[in-house]
């Protein structure tokens, strides 16, 4: 059974700031391009470039998570929007939280790949397709 919450409380137009959302989204979408550049560098055997672009992808993911945390802090502290405030709060935090969880999982995968490459466990001739497939998850997180 579903128990609906009151529509009272902060509404989307009252509390969501488009600027921060656009910055976070731009970082995450940009990271899809940087991971493609990383995979192409790996295919060429350019391990230094691969590591650089993969690290940049991870940093863009971190920025997204930090930006999301900052957004949530502002919504809770300044706007009074919590997961218990109303149906909007419940849906917003559930959806964005689930997305953030998937970003964290993707970042962990990318960090493992980066560390494996640093320790010489990834070879372009053997692991290019495996790394490419792992980065597909990252693209789905960006959508």
Residue labelled with tokens 């060429």: 44
Say what the pTM is: 0.90
Length of the chain: 143
Q: Give the range of the structural domain holding residue 116, as residue numbers without chain letter.
A: 15-142
DSSP readout, 102-115?
A: HHHHHHHHHHHHHH
Mean pLDDT of 17-22: 90
Q: What band does 114 get if pLDDT is binned at 50, 70 and 90?
A: very high
Q: What is the CATH number of the domain that holds 108?
A: 1.20.120.80
Considering the domain boundaries, does residue 1 fall inside one?
Answer: no
Q: How many domains does the chain have?
A: 1
- Domain contains 8: no
In this prediction, residue 11 has a pLDDT band, given cuts at 50, 70 and 90, of confident
Q: What string of DSSP letters covers 121-133? A: ---HHHHHHHHHH
Q: Is residue 133 part of a domain?
A: yes
Q: What digits encode the pLDDT tens for the residues 75-88?
A: 999 999 999 889 89
Cα 140 from Cα 142, distance rounded (Å): 5
């Amino acid at each position: 059974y579903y128990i609906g919450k009151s529509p009272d409380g902060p509404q989307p137009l009252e509390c969501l700031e488009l600027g921060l959302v656009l910055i976070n989204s731009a970082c995450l979408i940009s990271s899809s391009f940087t991971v493609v550049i990383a995979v192409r560098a790996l295919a060429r055997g350019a391990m230094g470039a691969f590591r650089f672009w993969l690290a940049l992808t991870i940093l863009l993911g971190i920025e997204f998570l930090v930006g999301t945390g900052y957004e949530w802090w502002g919504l809770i502290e300044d706007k009074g929007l919590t997961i218990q405030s109303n149906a909007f709060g419940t849906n917003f935090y559930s959806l964005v939280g689930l997305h953030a969880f998937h970003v964290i999982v993707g970042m962990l995968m990318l960090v493992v790949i980066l560390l494996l490459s640093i320790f010489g466990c990834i070879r372009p001739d053997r692991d290019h397709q495996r790394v490419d497939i792992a980065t597909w998850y990252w693209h789905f997180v960006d959508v």
